[in-house]
Amino acid sequence: MGKDGGEKKRGDGETMAVMSLMKDQQNPIQQFQVKFKEVETGFKSWLSKQKLPVEAAIVTAMGGVQGAFIGGLMGTLSPEMPQTGVDPQAMASLKQTQALVGGPLVQARNFAAITGVNAGIACIMKRIRGKEDLESAVVAALGSGVAYSLVSAGLQGQPGNAITTAAGFALFQGVFFKLGERFSKPSVEDPYYTRARSMLLKLGLEKYEKNFKKGFLADPTLPLLTDSALRDVSIPPGPRLLILDHIQRDPELKGKRGSRG
């Protein structure tokens, strides 16, 4: 028993040494990116398991905070009105524009309403419809347009203005969405490799994700992984040891491996 314990401790030390060596080869920016991606993936995974009202509330709040920051920054950086040497008519027009746009607090409020409502509705539509498409984007834009009208003009504003603003938001969002579909690359996120991607990120081995996909080593295969299976997809010995050790330490994956055995 003592011998087995000593071998286990020695193996743990060797594993940690290999992980430390591989992480040291990454520069600080890469390490931060890996850590951030790991946290982001874990948060998204947790959020997707929550009930719809909880997920929508959190997404809306996060979108609102981001919008408030952007709006406040834009309001702070807006140029000061010149005091002299400006045509009176131009000065009056500039004052009207600034009164409409408002200062940092007003812009923070407006942007928070726009981005928060847009993110919340988009989240609800995605959960209900199971996809992100043009219809969902337009509905979210309509909602954010109405929200902007309410917070900027108040309940005393004209309903026609709210409808016009919402339609403008929807049109812009629809055009932007179609342009994005046309020019952007397809998403590389694959739902069948979520667990594998998270594991590789945690180990600093994210560059081997393509090897997993090449060998179709999707999430359901993780409890079944062997050294030969990883070798067949051209993963070197050091990373193979880290991956197998991680699977052995993961209670859920280890339990599935035991039950299959």
154 and 232, same domain (yes or no): no
Q: Is the pLDDT of residue 122 over 90?
A: yes
| CB burial of residue 203 (10 Å; 0-12, 13-18, 19+) | buried
User: Model confidence at 1, in pLDDT bands (50, 70, 90)?
Assistant: very low
- Higher-confidence position of 172 and 102: 172
150 and 100, same domain (yes or no): yes
In Å, what is the CA distance from 96 to each residue of 91, 99, 102?
Answer: 9, 5, 10
Q: Contact 151/174 with Cβ under 8 angstroms?
A: no
Instruction: Identify the pLDDT of residue 244.
Output: 93
pTM of the shown model: 0.55
In Å, what is the CA distance from 109 to each residue of 70, 103, 105, 166?
Answer: 10, 10, 6, 17
235 and 152, same domain (yes or no): no
50 and 162, same domain (yes or no): yes
155 and 106, same domain (yes or no): yes
Q: Is the pLDDT of residue 82 over 70?
A: no
| CB burial of residue 18 (10 Å; 0-12, 13-18, 19+) | middle
Specify the 3-state DSSP secondary structure of 62: helix
Of 127, 138, 114, 118, residue with least CA distance to 53: 127
Region 76-99: what's the mean pLDDT?
A: 59
Instruction: Identify the pLDDT of residue 7.
Output: 52
Chain mean pLDDT for the chain: 79
- Higher-confidence position of 236 and 8: 236
Domain boundary among 131, 159, 184: 184
Model pLDDT for residues 150-162, shown as the tens digit of each residue: 887 765 556 777 7
In percent, the amount of the chain with pLDDT more than 70 equals 71
Instruction: Identify the pLDDT of residue 103.
Output: 76
Of 177, 148, 175, 178, residue with least CA distance to 163: 148
Residue with tokens 């040891």: 241
Model pLDDT for residues 51-76, shown as the tens digit of each residue: 999 999 999 999 999 999 998 888 78
Domain that holds residue 108: 34-76+91-184
Q: Both tokens of residue 19? A: 């992980």
- Higher-confidence position of 164 and 257: 164
CATH number at residue 220: 1.10.150
Instruction: Identify the pLDDT of residue 28.
Output: 74
212 and 253, same domain (yes or no): yes
100 and 204, same domain (yes or no): no
Domain boundary among 184, 202, 235: 184
Q: Both tokens of residue 85? A: 């040497």
Q: Contact 142/168 with Cβ under 8 angstroms?
A: no
| Cα–Cα distance for residue pair 162/77, rounded to 1 Å | 28
Domain boundary among 184, 211, 245: 184
User: Model confidence at 19, in pLDDT bands (50, 70, 90)?
Assistant: low
Instruction: Identify the pLDDT of residue 226.
Output: 93
- Least confident piece of the model among 21-25, 66-70, 178-182, 183-187: 21-25
Q: Helix 104-129 and helix 52-77: axis angle, to 10°? A: 150
239 and 156, same domain (yes or no): no
130 and 244, same domain (yes or no): no
Model pLDDT for residues 196-252, shown as the tens digit of each residue: 988 998 888 889 999 999 999 999 999 999 999 999 999 999 999 999 999 988 888
Specify the 3-state DSSP secondary structure of 200: helix
- Higher-confidence position of 26 and 122: 122
Domain count, the chain: 2
- Higher-confidence position of 90 and 140: 140
User: Model confidence at 124, in pLDDT bands (50, 70, 90)?
Assistant: very high
| Cα–Cα distance for residue pair 40/99, rounded to 1 Å | 39
Question: Residue 16: inside a domain, yes or no?
Answer: no
